[in-house]
């Protein structure tokens, strides 16, 4: 069909002539209400954004000399964060000469990972960066934890 004829038909029906496939031979066009099409497209995108779960990264900080009770508090908070679907970044900060005892911090990291294992997956292993050691935990293993409880 000629472009002129298609435009005439579009004007008669009060629609827009929209080019769908410009690279085809001949180019493919479609009669549609373009404003309504854009509105519905934006509406679909808004709905899909609503359905998405935003994952936050929560950070818990420790020191190599952190006491037992404080470690338990951090573990409890971390379990809650993981249950809410958030990732947990465990950070151990070194001050002064504490940096010489990296093995103590590594042991503490391994303990935290082991205690949180029923509700998490270790996403990144403990790594040093400056005067701190980091480890990232992601939510997971909750199905296997539920099976063990029943």
| Percent of the chain predicted with pLDDT > 90 | 36
In CATH, 3-51 is 3.10.20.80: yes
In CATH, 57-149 is 3.30.110.10: yes
Tens of pLDDT, residues 59-88: 999 998 889 999 999 999 999 998 988 899
Domain-wise residue ranges, the chain:
3-51, 57-149
Q: Quick one: pLDDT at residue 130?
A: 87
Q: If you write DSSP's letter for every residue of 66-132 in order, what string do you get?
A: --HHHHHHHHHHHHHHHHTT-EEEEEEE--GGGGG-HHHHHHHHHHHHHHTGGGEEEEEEEEEETTE
Q: Quick one: pLDDT at residue 60?
A: 92
The answer to whether residue 109 scores a pLDDT higher than 80 is: yes
Angle at 119 between CA 53 and CA 147, to 5 degrees: 105
Tens of pLDDT, residues 14-50: 888 888 888 888 888 889 898 999 999 999 998 888 8
The answer to whether residue 145 scores a pLDDT higher than 70 is: no
Tens of pLDDT, residues 43-57: 999 888 887 777 788
Q: Quick one: pLDDT at residue 147?
A: 45
DSSP, res 65: T
Q: Quick one: pLDDT at residue 42?
A: 94
pLDDT band at 142; cut points 50, 70, 90: low
**Taking the model in full, what pTM does it have?**
0.59
The answer to whether residue 104 scores a pLDDT higher than 60 is: yes
């Amino acid at each position: 069909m000629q472009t002129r004829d298609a435009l005439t038909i579009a004007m008669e029906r009060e629609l827009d002539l929209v080019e769908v496939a410009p690279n085809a031979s001949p180019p493919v066009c479609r009669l549609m209400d373009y404003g309504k099409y854009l509105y519905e497209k934006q509406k679909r995108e808004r709905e899909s954004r609503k359905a998405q779960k935003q994952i936050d990264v929560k950070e818990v900080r420790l020191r190599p000399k952190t006491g037992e009770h404080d470690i338990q508090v951090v573990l409890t908070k971390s379990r809650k964060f993981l249950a809410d679907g958030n990732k947990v970044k465990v950070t151990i900060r070194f001050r002064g000469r504490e940096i010489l005892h990296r093995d103590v911090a590594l042991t503490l990291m391994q303990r935290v990972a082991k205690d949180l294992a029923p509700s998490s997956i270790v996403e990144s292993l403990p790594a040093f960066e400056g005067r701190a050691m980091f480890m990232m935990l992601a939510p997971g293993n909750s199905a296997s934890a539920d099976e063990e409880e029943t």
